[in-house]
Structure 1
């Protein structure tokens, strides 16, 4: 009897405790749902906080960084009719891109995506859903898989060596004409741009490289890509303040349509050429280009299975995504890396000494050497920490209500992760504004850029992470290693290289990068493999 009573008492207390825990949990949930993140004062009618970005010499990621210093690492701003959540902390970014990854897996709709991205056929701008999942799977498992990236390594090697030989030829011609100086001045921003464009066009379509100063080739395509990015960034006002769409300020809509047509003409021509050449080639898995993979995979797909898009549109849009996303970001990162090295001659010397030790001067650096170039890899990480491809992440949009850091975030909120601010967080990085590659060999030696460490996410993380991270790292590392191994590099000015950033979809250097260079190896080491 006493035992039975004891059981009843215990059961009663368990019931009471469970009920109290339920009430506490419900109260917390209710508080979280009603609790809003801080927001800066001074929102204007119609435009909200957009005026904070106007008339400033500082870029948006810097301005939002200053707001974070005042309000904390998570806050919202009104951008026209849209509410945006700005996150400037690694742990909160991790919560958004892991715990709430599916909630923030979509992209906000935009006029630019309608008019210049085949009406959302580009998987990078496509909303979260079956079509995006299908294309993401194809890209990750087939087009940009590790095995495919490795298979196309010979293209990266041949294009880099051919482009370096262009520099060597220029130096040789100059040296023969002038005996005054052994060094020649070269504008490296354009050189990086041409090189990466050649690599990307070759791996995507199989087309041969553009010749030097080919105004009808490389420069024309780069001009169209630059216009594409400028229009994408400049047309944001139409998305944030829809009333302006009727006005079509600055003729943006027509410019976007014209640029879309220019891009479509380029990719339609390449697709037609490739389909014709495939009939005459004996294709094996090892010599397939990205466009071949897409043709093969999509040949049996119907428009219903492709969200209403025809196969050619999906192929062209995916090639456009790969080219535009891969060209500008990679060439800009290389420009920043070399700028930092020229401004820090000691780091440049250490990198070249490492190349001498690990590779020597009797053969050219290969991709198989990259794993041994610890300091060079640290340089690339430090470059992307200081100058990520975008100061702000590409925008995400919440598809339902959620809780972030205890705050209620309503459906339809734009998420902007301030990569620039996170990468310079004093609580994580000592001397955050200083270029110190050594930190990735000591205090942060285990940190990578592949979306696993949220204190350093230049390629993003989660479902919407850039799928080209492996390809980009290969191209970045081999290009920089080849350049440093083969040339002496110096600043032509007594003043440090200007490190001013320019506003755009890509975090680019505002001014060209000029360097003095001369061959570092014996003459017989050039023209190899070109």
Structure 2
């Protein structure tokens, strides 16, 4: 009998010694604390449940705001306090400016060369400069404001038709198509959803690729953290390979089409603007990048251009459409707030014209609503992970080089230590701070430091114009008496678990305004 029990006792003894040695090693090295039970191979992965941002919030609430977890073989610094976030993104900004090498970065991030996934180096600095100056500068965004106005008007017309039919509207799809059309028009000058789609075959191809990218981007890949399990997740990697191949082929076709148009323009004596009836259109992002390629072909290679296009699509669609869906959901659950912001728009914009981007600065309560939506439901609840290039000290603890950094923005922005009544939707808390999106490091939906989102300006313009236009043009109602379900779903951009469906009724003055627009 003793002989039979010996293997079990040996196993218990081994695990006990393993856990104790781990605990004292952490103490000896002055590493941040962590849950005591650290399993061989898995580390702390056994603690994770979906959605991940909530699971990590629960872990931080129990063990502390600065933890050094083990995701299998990877050390992960989990930060859930403003002061520690400030240390990481300000004091140690350069140290944490790298990106970890995950499967998503290899395939979706163009083999770790895209703006979002490349590490901190000269290549990243060049990409950031291109994005900030050539693509997302205030001047460039202002040049393309007509496109944003057009797409919002298309959305209003579509909803007006639904209003006349008396049918509820599934808003997730409306918002997603709005943002996809906007980004594709800015990138390549084409629409892929709704009316006026030039090439249906190409549009269907684009939708299939996009659907697959969104499906696999939110998939958890334990193989990133437990190398011995990589073979188990081989099917996921095959999906990544296929979607990368299809996406790159699609984007390359767009580049070749634009290159052909430029060549035709040059042969006709016009090297600066599109030919024919498109002369009045502003240059698309692809056209701008191809123009730069003519001067610096060794750097502005097609791979670089495809990477920038891919980042624009990924960062500019699901995120902004998600914010719009959360914002309208919150307003439907708080009809007094909805009426208040509608009155603000009526008083400051009126009913003689449609709301414009230039009006947003004069709509403080609308801006407060957007900020409160982003505080409660940040579409990047954990930001894109960083990685330390060398050892540093955070909150008095030593953090080893090569540690992955995860900042739980969701936890910080809902922490009662940072916010009064954080679970309540109260736009008034931001009155007096309308022109500022960040509140120190208590609120940073776009991140902070060198790796903060360069598309913040575009996102705020589009969310403000879209949400403001919906409030100006329609009266909104929930379906039935039940509150809109605000349960968070699973995915990198924290979607709603149940897509928003609502009833919109066109306000009387809108028909006349729509008849005056040229869309």
TM-score, normalised to structure 2, is 0.88
Superposition deviation, residue 250 in structure 1: 5.7
Superposition deviation, residue 114 in structure 1: 1.9
Pairwise mapping of residues 305-316 of structure 1 onto structure 2 (< 5 A)?
A: 306=299, 311-316=301-306
Aligned to 1:376, which of 366, 369, 372?
366
Aligned to 1:51, which of 46, 53, 64?
46
The separation in 2 between residues aligned to 1:187 and 1:219, in whole angstroms, is 20
CA RMSD between the two structures: 2.2
Looking at CA atoms only, which structure, 1 or 2, has the larger radius of gyration? 1
**1:529 maps onto 2:518 in alignment:** yes
The separation in 1 between residues aligned to 2:417 and 2:207, in whole angstroms, is 39
- Secondary structure class of the residue paired with 1:501: coil
- Secondary structure class of the residue paired with 1:340: helix
Look up the match of 1:114.
106
Superposition deviation, residue 529 in structure 1: 3.1
Q: After superposition, what is the alpha-carbon deviation per residue over 1:258-283, rounded to whole angstroms, capped at 9, x for unaligned? A: 11122112211211221122234542
Look up the match of 2:169.
186
Look up the match of 1:126.
118
Look up the match of 1:321.
311
Look up the match of 1:202.
185
The separation in 2 between residues aligned to 1:333 and 1:446, in whole angstroms, is 17
Task: Name the CA shift for 1:171/1:233 in 2 (closer, same or farther; >3 Å).
Answer: closer
Equivalent pair of 1:117/1:260 in contact (CA under 8 Å): no
The separation in 2 between residues aligned to 1:275 and 1:452, in whole angstroms, is 44
Aligned to 1:477, which of 441, 447, 464?
464
Q: After superposition, what is the alpha-carbon deviation per residue over 1:317-360, rounded to whole angstroms, capped at 9, x for unaligned? A: 11011011110000001000000001111111011101100011
Q: Which runs of 5+ in 2 are unaligned?
A: 1-25, 274-279
More displaced 10-residue stretch of structure 1: 257-266 or 103-112:
257-266
The separation in 1 between residues aligned to 2:495 and 2:338, in whole angstroms, is 21
The separation in 2 between residues aligned to 1:412 and 1:452, in whole angstroms, is 29
**1:409 maps onto 2:404 in alignment:** no
Look up the match of 1:179.
none
- Secondary structure class of the residue paired with 1:76: strand
Q: After superposition, what is the alpha-carbon deviation per residue over 1:407-452, rounded to whole angstroms, capped at 9, x for unaligned? A: 100100000000001101212211001111011115xx26732x56
Task: Name the CA shift for 1:298/1:376 in 2 (closer, same or farther; >3 Å).
Answer: same
The separation in 1 between residues aligned to 2:208 and 2:38, in whole angstroms, is 37
Q: After superposition, what is the alpha-carbon deviation per residue over 1:206-257, rounded to whole angstroms, capped at 9, x for unaligned? A: 1245325978566754553343243234253221112222x14261111111
The separation in 2 between residues aligned to 1:33 and 1:205, in whole angstroms, is 56
Task: Name the CA shift for 1:404/1:286 in 2 (closer, same or farther; >3 Å).
Answer: farther
Equivalent pair of 1:329/1:506 in contact (CA under 8 Å): yes
Look up the match of 2:487.
500
Equivalent pair of 2:66/2:77 in contact (CA under 8 Å): yes
Pairwise mapping of residues 20-39 of structure 1 onto structure 2 (< 5 A)?
A: 34-39=29-34
The separation in 1 between residues aligned to 2:480 and 2:425, in whole angstroms, is 20
Equivalent pair of 1:33/1:408 in contact (CA under 8 Å): no
More displaced 10-residue stretch of structure 1: 328-337 or 159-168:
159-168
Superposition deviation, residue 375 in structure 1: 0.6
The separation in 2 between residues aligned to 1:192 and 1:366, in whole angstroms, is 18
Equivalent pair of 2:368/2:434 in contact (CA under 8 Å): no
Look up the match of 1:21.
none
- Secondary structure class of the residue paired with 1:102: coil
Equivalent pair of 2:223/2:233 in contact (CA under 8 Å): no
**1:241 maps onto 2:226 in alignment:** yes
Look up the match of 1:228.
213
Task: Name the CA shift for 1:161/1:311 in 2 (closer, same or farther; >3 Å).
Answer: same
TM-score, normalised to structure 1, is 0.86
Look up the match of 2:324.
334
Equivalent pair of 2:162/2:168 in contact (CA under 8 Å): no
Task: Name the CA shift for 1:249/1:236 in 2 (closer, same or farther; >3 Å).
Answer: closer
Moved over 4 A (4+): 212-220
**1:256 maps onto 2:240 in alignment:** yes
Superposition deviation, residue 137 in structure 1: 1.0
Look up the match of 2:412.
422
Aligned to 2:382, which of 383, 392, 401?
392
Equivalent pair of 1:193/1:328 in contact (CA under 8 Å): yes
- Secondary structure class of the residue paired with 2:450: helix
Equivalent pair of 1:46/1:241 in contact (CA under 8 Å): yes
**1:457 maps onto 2:444 in alignment:** yes
Look up the match of 1:436.
426
Superposition deviation, residue 76 in structure 1: 1.2
Look up the match of 1:279.
263
Q: Which runs of 5+ in 1 are unaligned?
A: 1-30, 175-182
The separation in 2 between residues aligned to 1:290 and 1:99, in whole angstroms, is 34
The separation in 2 between residues aligned to 1:321 and 1:153, in whole angstroms, is 20
Task: Name the CA shift for 1:227/1:363 in 2 (closer, same or farther; >3 Å).
Answer: same
Equivalent pair of 1:85/1:414 in contact (CA under 8 Å): yes
**1:365 maps onto 2:355 in alignment:** yes
Equivalent pair of 1:192/1:335 in contact (CA under 8 Å): yes
Look up the match of 1:28.
none
Equivalent pair of 1:123/1:132 in contact (CA under 8 Å): yes
Count of residue correspondences? 479
The separation in 1 between residues aligned to 2:414 and 2:261, in whole angstroms, is 49
The separation in 1 between residues aligned to 2:429 and 2:207, in whole angstroms, is 35
- Secondary structure class of the residue paired with 1:279: helix
Equivalent pair of 1:162/1:529 in contact (CA under 8 Å): no
Look up the match of 2:288.
293
**1:518 maps onto 2:505 in alignment:** yes
Look up the match of 1:163.
155
